Amino acid sequence: MRTLGFRGEALASIAAVARVRLTTRAVGAETAVRVAVDGGEMGPLETVGAPVGTRIEVRDLFYNTPTRLKYLRTVQTEQARSVEVVQQAALSRPDVAFSCQTEHHVLFQTPGNGDVRTVLAALYGVGEAKQLLELSAASNDYRVHGLIGRPTQARSSRGYAHLFVNGRPIRHPGIHQAVIQGYQNRLMVGKHPMYALYVEMDPSLVDVNVHPHKAEVRFSEEQDVARLVSQAVAAALDGTLLAATRFVRASRTRPRCSLLL
């Protein structure tokens, strides 16, 4: 699990049912190369000007396969799913700059400075990102770090909860429940915390082959991971809220005044 396991045939499968434009330029190369693939038919290579890196454009998905096209949801639904994928990618690699845009406007863009908080600011706003609390904890086998929301930032859905294991975005009900337990009854009923948590471990301690999309994993010692996450969340909240309580109590103390003649 040291890589995300991207398989090359995925791009070929996409190109077979869409119009794909791939532009790439290697470090040190004077020019870039572009190739167009329409419905699996590859055109000639072109030499073009472009920045270092690779850009892949996919348009008219399933244009040549009407039986698949009719199963697509509305434009709004498919766009929301696409945006979610880019959001997860941006959070998993804060050191890479992402720009997500529609035909009409830019939805969000990240600077690629390696700071998770700036990515969350791009996704949810600067005000929300500033309130997030940092956490970090480690055991002999696991390390967890990231940002969690204050209880007042809880949402009615899990759409603002992001979990990454060795850089891979995943869904794990057990870890999500461990996060909730870390809030120690500070959440309202039906509310879910906002967070971006990163769990790191030796790849041999986690199995990523339990879901066809690799969106779920199985830990060799799930209870140990859950306990570490819960304790880290509780420690972050306890430290911040305790400091806030002390500040409030101090500010309510009756001021003293001395008059010297």
Walking along the chain (261 residues) 10 residues at a time, the average pLDDT comes out as: 64 93 96 96 95 91 86 86 93 93 89 96 96 96 96 93 94 94 92 96 88 83 95 92 50 45 30
Amino acid at 97: A
Cα(206)–Cα(218) distance, integer angstroms = 6
The structure tokens listed for 213 are: 């999309």
Q: Which of 129, 173, 172, 144 is nearest to 232 (CA)?
A: 144
Question: Would you state the pLDDT for residue 5?
Answer: 59
Q: Which run of H or of E encompasses 229?
A: helix 222-251
In degrees, to the nearest 5, what angle opens at C-alpha 92 toward C-alphas 89 and 98? 45
Cα(145)–Cα(59) distance, integer angstroms = 37
**From the CB of residue 261, how many other CB atoms can be counted at a distance below 10 Å?**
2
Cα(11)–Cα(58) distance, integer angstroms = 10
The SS3 assignment for 246 reads helix
Question: Would you state the pLDDT for residue 4?
Answer: 66
pTM: 0.80
Question: Would you state the pLDDT for residue 8?
Answer: 67
CA distances from 9 to 69, 76, 93, 175 (A): 21, 28, 23, 32
Cα(71)–Cα(57) distance, integer angstroms = 22
Question: Would you state the pLDDT for residue 257?
Answer: 40
Q: Give the residue ranges of DSSP H helices in 138-221.
A: 173-182
The SS3 assignment for 81 reads helix
Question: Would you state the pLDDT for residue 256?
Answer: 46
